[in-house]
């Protein structure tokens, strides 16, 4: 079973370090799938500043799953996305990053979607 509070702490540390974003480490709306995947939300702890003209509300959505044993033993895969509602009434979502955590919930690796896109571009250009 995945400890969502420890996953939330790891997500908070990474988002604060990479993007300067403060989030609440208390999981909200937890649910789990039959395969053991855990889903929950985290709330942002800061205002949107000038973006309040276009963003009405936002929250972080987290999906976490335990992956089979590898050279690091069993690891947790964590997908982090930002879901936001616009003042105009629309809503949108964007994947922020993917994390891999060890069994003690320490971050083994993290990758932003921008970094993942560069890897795909490099591979398609034959640079890898």
Domain map (residue ranges) of the chain: 4-124
CA distance 105 to 96: 19
Please state whether beta strands 107-112 and 91-101 pair in parallel, antiparallel, or not at all (unpaired): antiparallel
Write the CA distances from 51 to 19, 24, 54, 58, integer angstroms. 16, 20, 6, 11
Contact 63, 78 (CB under 8 A): yes
Residue 96 has pLDDT above 70, yes or no: yes
CA distance 77 to 75: 7
Convert the pLDDT of each residue in 14-69 to its tens digit: 988 888 888 888 999 999 998 889 999 999 887 777 778 888 889 999 999 998 76
Q: Closest Cα partner for 62 from 109, 103, 29?
A: 29
pTM across the whole model: 0.81
């Amino acid at each position: 079973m995945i400890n969502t509070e420890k996953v939330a702490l790891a997500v908070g540390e990474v988002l604060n370090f990479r993007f300067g974003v403060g989030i609440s480490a208390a999981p909200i709306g937890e649910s789990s799938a039959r395969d053991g995947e855990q889903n929950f939300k985290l709330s942002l702890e800061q205002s949107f500043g000038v973006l309040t003209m276009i963003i009405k509300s936002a929250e972080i959505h987290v999906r976490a799953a335990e992956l089979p044993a590898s050279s690091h033993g069993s690891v947790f895969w964590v997908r982090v996305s930002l879901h936001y509602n616009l003042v105009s009434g629309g809503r949108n979502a964007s994947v922020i990053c993917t994390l891999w955590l060890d069994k003690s919930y320490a971050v083994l690796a993290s990758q932003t979607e921008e970094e993942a896109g560069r890897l795909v571009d490099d591979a398609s250009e034959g640079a890898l």
